[in-house]
Every structure is written in structure tokens, then in C-alpha cells.
Amino acid sequence: MNTLKRLLGFVWLLTGPAILVYLLMEASKKIALPTSTSNDVLQWSIIIGIFCPIALGFMLFGYYSLKGEYDLDPEFHPK
Amino acid sequence: MSSKQKYTQGIWSVITASSVGTLIEWYDFYIFGSLATIIASQFFPEDKGSSALLSTLAIFAAGFIVRPFGALVFGRLGDMVGRKYTFLLTLVLMGGSTFCIGLIPGYKSIGVAAPLLVLLLRLIQGLALGGEYGGAATYVAEHAPIERRGFFTSWIQTTATLGLFVSLGIILTTRNTLGVEAFNEWGWRIPFLVSSLLVIVSIYIRMKMEESPLFTKLKKEGKTSSNPLKESFTKKDNLKMVLLALFGAVMGQGVIWYTGQFYAQSFIENVCKIDFAQSRTILLWAIAFATPFFVFFGGLSDKVGRKWIMMLGMLLGILSYRSIYQYFLDHSSDKNKTEIVAQTTVERKATLIESSGDSLVKTITLRHFTDGAHFKETVTDTFYVAKASLGVKPLKKMEKVLGDGDYWMFIFLVFFQVLLVTMVYGPIAAFLVELFPTKIRYTSMSLPYHIGNGVFGGLVPFISTLIIEYTKTAENPAGTPLAGLWYPMAVATVCLIIGSLYLSNEVDHNVRDDENVYIHPHHDNHHA
């Protein structure tokens, strides 16, 4: 279980920047559309502004997970 | 009176005082959302100038985005000054700003000051709500016996749903009493003004309450935190728990909640085109039947643990959403219904616009179906004198009223979604309280709660609608209505994986208050 958690930590660590890149690409694509308005720019700015710190938090969660901070302590969970 | 009787009486007073205030805060928060369309027409201009930007900010984002900031500001205050005075302050701020929204003159009277004032008051509402919930949950949990924390805090959990119930009830009653026209013109202000009466009663009740016993003990011993923000978010042992609470429980809980209660209503009204009153009564019935389950699952979590009840709620949501919303689509469409053609009526009315010589033609078609449903389509078209004006699309409005069978099935399916809400939301207050020590609890639990609910959950209607918009193409102008469900399903799936693997199902009875105890997410401290 601990190995799985640490491996997944790596996944979470990579997911954070992946989400950010995806959002930035989507935003630039949608804003570039000829039909886009100033509201589109505002909405995407808000979405990116909100999810940036969350993605960073997710990376940190992944980092802690990778480092074994969430490992089960065998002393308290004997088989 | 025995000490046990006194204690029981005491805990119920605590729950009543906390719940009434929290219910009113939710009521205040929801009436703004439920009346968003009317508010937009009253306070914002119809053109697309700078005020239109403000309207987007105010209605879409402001109330939700500032909730985590409210959690930080009032959480800090609550951990330093005390729970009682902090959530008394949030109540005053929420009630005051709601009352003031009901008094602001419209855009036609004071121009751009109107949307600016609404935005400001909406920000205060969001801040106040951000501070309220953590205080109420902490306050009740710190009074409750440790083995029944889930049961007692679940009463606080009912308030969010009951707040929506009361807000819908008052809005519908006012609208039905005054009539649609008067309600849209000035009657919408009444639900805002009514809030002040509720707040006064609640303040009176809360003033008579005493400070939480655990906080009082800490204060006497001089062990309160001098900087809860720093302790919560710069100490690794606490920060990792904040992150775990957010990604392993609250973000999934938030999307399940907002999908079941808000996106469901929005979908039924805007995508299925069910009429205003029926779409609201569907939600009202569903909430009425489901609300007792908050307490049921809260109590159950004391016996079997919090984790798996919440995870099961998320799993069922992920598995069932697409089928439920597909049912909504299929049974609100005329494709699966048999029309009683003999009863179809078409009413056409033309009005001459004297200034231009053009004519406004309104055609109302009413179709009846064998299952008792009837669909009303209103098409408003302008016939121009000048040929150059031809080609403007007519305005179409569809209002569908379901037959009894489908109506009750819709209620059942929304009830099922709210039942999932009770599974994820009933135990969450006790779960969060038990993750953090008393001295930084208000701050530490409020932030993940409001990011999970205010941001992940609060943005469900907006992001889901945005996804549907992006599926619209020239070949498929209606888009893919179920595409919007991918957002809550994806968030809930990630949360389910993290929660299932990383969270413990054990209940921490000591709530990590002994500083010498090793802080660990996976076992009770009394083992340590």
C-alpha cells in the first residue's frame, strides 16, 4: 500500500503542471476564437487564477505522498 | 434534574443556536443565486459595457471565490478570540449585507453604483459564509461527546440544504402571492429584507451561548495559538493534513453536493426546459425527503467510521450521473411521448409598433400529451417594414410541465442525488474537526472546506455549462448536454482514489490536542 501511495505521489506531482498547461492551452484557444468577447477573457482569467494555487497544492500533496508522509506506520497497523 | 439531562439539554441548545444561524447564512447566500436573473436585470445594464463585466464577476465568481479568504480571516479570529464571537460577527455581516441588497436602488436610478454596491455586498456575503461554517461545526463538535460527534455535527450539515429549501419556499410563496410581474419589479426584494428578521432572532439566541469548553480550557491554560495561519499552513504536519482533507474528501464532496442540488436544478430548468415552478417543486420535494439522511449518515459514521460512507457516496455519484441525466433528457423530450393532436391550440397575437411601423407577432402553441404532460412554446417574431431588417431570428421560449408519472420519477432521481449528498456531507464536519487540534481547528478546517465547496463545488454549474457550450458545433448546434457531467465525475473520481487509499477510517477521539503526540493521519492518538 505504501509503495502504491508513493508511486501515485509521482502521478499527482505531474498532474498539477499538466492541469495548468491544459488550462492555459484551452484558454488561449478559446480566447483566440473570433466569437470570443471580453467576458471570455475574464472568465478564463478567473478559472486560471483559481486553479493555479490549487494545482500547486496538488503538486505539494504529490510531493508529500512521494516522500512517504502519508505512509501507514506498521507499528500501529500490525498484520 | 440529573447532570445527564442537563448535558442533553445543553447540547441541543448549542445545536439549535448554531444551526439556526448557519441556516440563515445559507438562506442569505442562496436567495442571491436563486434570483440571479432578476438581480441582473435590476442592477446591470443590458448593453455589454464595463458594467456587464461587473455583472459576470458579481454573479459568477465573487461569492464563491472569496469564501476561502473568509475562512482564513474568520478562522484566524476564531482560533485567537474564540468561536462564539467570531461566528456572531459573521452572522451580522451576512444578515446586514443581505438586507442592504434588498434596499439598493436599481441601475436605472443610480447607474453603475448599483452593480458596484451589489458586488461589494456579495463579497461580504462570501467572506461571512467562509467564516461561519467552520465556526459552527467546530463549536458543536467541541461541545459534543466524542463518540457521537458525527451525529451532533450532522445537524449543522442539514442547514445548507434546509437554507436552500427555505429560500426556494419563500421565493415561491412571495412570487405566487404577488404575481410574476410585481415580483419581478419589486417583490424580489422581500426575501432579502425578510433575512433581517431571521438574523435578529438568531443573534439573540447566539448571544446567550457560552464559549466552547475546549477553547475556554485552552485559553485558561494560555495555549491558544498566537498565529493560527502560520501554524496551519507552514507546519508540514498540519499542511499535509489540510491537503489530504481537500484532495481526499472535500473536493469530491463539493462536486457531489453541487451536482445533486444545483446542477440538477439548472439542468432540469435550462436544458430540459421544465417550467420555473415545477423545476423548483421537484427540488423542494427531493430535499424534504432526503434531509433526514444527513443525521442518519452522520450518526452511522460514529459507528462505522466516516471514510467509507463518504467514498460510497462519491462512487455512486460517478456511476449513476450519466444514466440519471439521460433519463431527464429522454423524459422531457416529445420524442417519447404521444401527442393528443386534437387538444393542440395555437394562439397568435400581433402588436403594431407605432414608432417604426413594424409588427411584433407572438405565437403560443400549447401541446398536450397522453401522459399528462403539456408543452408551451412561445415564439416572438418581429415583422419589419424595411426588408433590410429581415433575417433576425425569432425569440423562442419553451416551458414544459411534466405529467404525474415523470414528475415523481424526476423527484425520485433528484432525491437519489441529494441522498448521495447526505452520504458525503453528513459526516464531513466531524471528519474535518477530527483532523486538526483545537488551537488551529477553526482556521485549518475552514480553508479546505471552502476551497472544496466554494471552488470545486461552486463552479460545477458554470464549468459544466461552459463544457456544454464548447461541444456546440455547426453540425450539432445543441451540443452534448451530458458533457457537462465530466467535470464533477472527474473530480469525484480523483478524490475517491485519494480518499480510499490515503484516508483512515478510524476516528480520532483525542483530536490531536496533546502536542507531545506524534501527528499521524492513520491511527488514533490514544495509541501513541
CB contact under 8 A, A64 and B240: yes
Chain A neighbours among B 58-87 (CB < 8 Å)? 60-61, 65
Angle between helices B36-43 and B3-34 (to 10 degrees): 50
- How high is the pLDDT of residue B522? 39
In the predicted structure, residue B32 carries a pLDDT above the cut 80: no
- The more confidently predicted of residues A62 and B87 is A62
Give me the interface pTM, i.e. the ipTM.
Answer: 0.90
Dist. CA B511–CA B215, nearest whole Å: 13
- DSSP-derived 3-state class of residue B375: strand
Dist. CA B232–CA B436, nearest whole Å: 9
Angle between helices B113-143 and B441-450 (to 10 degrees): 130
Rounded to the nearest angstrom, the minimum Cα separation between A21 and chain B is 17
Most confident of B106-110, B227-231, B239-243, B408-412: B408-412
Q: Which residues of A touch B246 (CB under 8 A)?
A: 57
Looking at chain B, the whole-number percentage of residues with pLDDT higher than 90 is 34
- How high is the pLDDT of residue B518? 33
- Identify the closest residue of chain A to B502 by CA–CA distance: A70
Q: How many Cβ atoms from other residues are within 10 Å of residue B516's Cβ? A: 5
Put simply, whether B490 touches A (Cβ < 8 Å) is: no
Confidence of residue B56 (pLDDT cuts 50, 70, 90): low
Q: What is the CA radius of gyration of chain B?
A: 25
Cβ atoms of B18 and B160 closer than 8 Å: no
Lowest pLDDT segment from A3-12, B53-62, B318-327: B53-62
- How high is the pLDDT of residue B325? 97
pLDDT tens digits, one per residue of A53-63: 999 999 999 99
- How high is the pLDDT of residue B33? 72
**Could you say which of A61, A69, A77 has the minimum Cβ distance to residue B247?**
A61
Report, as an integer, the average pLDDT of B46-61. 55
CB contact under 8 A, B53 and A38: yes
In the predicted structure, residue B346 carries a pLDDT above the cut 50: yes
Put simply, whether B493 touches A (Cβ < 8 Å) is: no
pLDDT tens digits, one per residue of B472-528: 888 888 789 899 999 999 999 999 999 999 998 776 665 555 543 333 433 433 332
CB contact under 8 A, A54 and B56: no
CA distances from B93 to B7, B28, B202, B357 (A): 31, 11, 13, 53
Tally the C-alpha atoms within 13 A of residue B7's C-alpha that lie toward its C-beta.
Answer: 7
CB contact under 8 A, A47 and B463: yes
- How high is the pLDDT of residue B55? 61
Rounded to the nearest angstrom, the minimum Cα separation between B206 and chain A is 34
pLDDT tens digits, one per residue of B176-221: 899 988 998 899 999 999 888 888 888 888 787 777 777 788 778 7
- Identify the closest residue of chain B to A4 by CA–CA distance: B501
- Identify the closest residue of chain A to B451 by CA–CA distance: A54
Lowest pLDDT segment from B242-256, B285-299, B489-503, B512-526: B512-526
Dist. CA B433–CA B148, nearest whole Å: 13
Dist. CA A27–CA A37, nearest whole Å: 13
CA distances from B76 to B69, B73, B422, B494 (A): 11, 5, 29, 30
The per-residue pLDDT of chain B, averaged, comes to 84
- What nine digits make up the cell of B26? 445559507
Cβ atoms of B427 and B301 closer than 8 Å: yes
pLDDT tens digits, one per residue of B33-43: 777 777 777 88
B488 by Cβ neighbours in 10 Å (0-12 / 13-18 / 19+) ranks as buried
How much is the pTM? Answer: 0.84
CB contact under 8 A, B240 and A1: no
Torsion of CA B63, B67, B68, B70, to 10 degrees: 130
Lowest pLDDT segment from A13-17, B128-132, B272-276, B325-329: B128-132
Q: How many Cβ atoms from other residues are within 10 Å of residue A19's Cβ? A: 16
Report, as an integer, the average pLDDT of B369-391. 80
pLDDT tens digits, one per residue of B381-399: 877 776 655 556 778 889 9
CB contact under 8 A, B455 and A4: no
List the beta bridge partners of residue B345.
B366
- The more confidently predicted of residues B395 and A5 is A5
In the predicted structure, residue B444 carries a pLDDT above the cut 90: no
Count of A–B CB contacts within 8 Å?
65
Put simply, whether A36 touches B (Cβ < 8 Å) is: no
**Could you say which of B239, B497, B521 has the minimum Cβ distance to residue A70?**
B521
Put simply, whether B497 touches A (Cβ < 8 Å) is: yes
Lowest pLDDT segment from A25-34, B384-393, B453-462, B487-496: B384-393
Put simply, whether B521 touches A (Cβ < 8 Å) is: yes
Report, as an integer, the average pLDDT of B253-259. 94
Confidence of residue B407 (pLDDT cuts 50, 70, 90): very high
- The more confidently predicted of residues B389 and B8 is B8
Report, as an integer, the average pLDDT of B296-315. 95
In the predicted structure, residue A38 carries a pLDDT above the cut 80: no
Report, as an integer, the average pLDDT of B353-371. 86
